[in-house]
Amino acid sequence: MNAKLILLAIGISLLLIGCYTERPRGHSRGPDAYAQYSYIYYPDAEVYYEPNRHVYFWVDRGEWRSGPRVPRNIVLHSSVSVDLNSPEPYRHHDEVRARHPPHREEHRRERGHGHQDRDERSPASEHQ
C-alpha cells in the first residue's frame, strides 16, 4: 500500500512538472499586462498595425475598430515602430500621439499645397 502511494505521488509530480511552462522574459507572476507588443504606427492616419496577429486598429466615428485591413478611405503613409505593453494599442494612444505627431509634409498636402515639400526632420527623428 505504501509503495502504491509513493508511486502515485511520483506520477503526479512528474505530471505536474510536465505541465510547467515558463513565462516570457520579464514576467515574475500576475497577468500578461507586462508583455511587449510591437506595432507599426502610422501617425498621419493614427492607425496601428500588429504584425504578429495581422490586425489593424483605427478610429471610426469616435470609436476604435480593428480588423485585417483598414477602410478604403484611410491612406497609410510613413510609419514608426512602437512597443507597448498592451494588446490594445489605443489605450496608450495619447502617449503615442504625443511622441509621434503627424508629419508636416502630410499637413501641407492636406492644406492644398500641390507640390511636395521636403520634410526638414532627420530620418532618425522618425524612430525615436
How far is Cα 20 from Cα 15, in angstroms, rounded to an integer?
9
Domain limits of the chain? 33-114
Which of 102, 93, 95 has the alpha carbon at shortest distance from 126? 102
- Please tell me the predicted confidence (pLDDT) of residue 66: 97
β-sheet bridge partners, residue 48:
41, 57
- Please tell me the predicted confidence (pLDDT) of residue 93: 95
C-alpha dist (Å) from residue 15 to 18, 19, 35: 5, 6, 28
Confidence of residue 4 (pLDDT cuts 50, 70, 90): confident
Q: What is the pLDDT of residues 41-83, one digit of tens each?
A: 999 999 999 999 999 999 999 999 999 999 999 999 999 999 9
Whole-number percent of the chain with pLDDT over 90 = 50
Residue that has been written with the C-alpha cell 505530471 in this structure = 15
How far is CA 63 from its chain centroid?
18
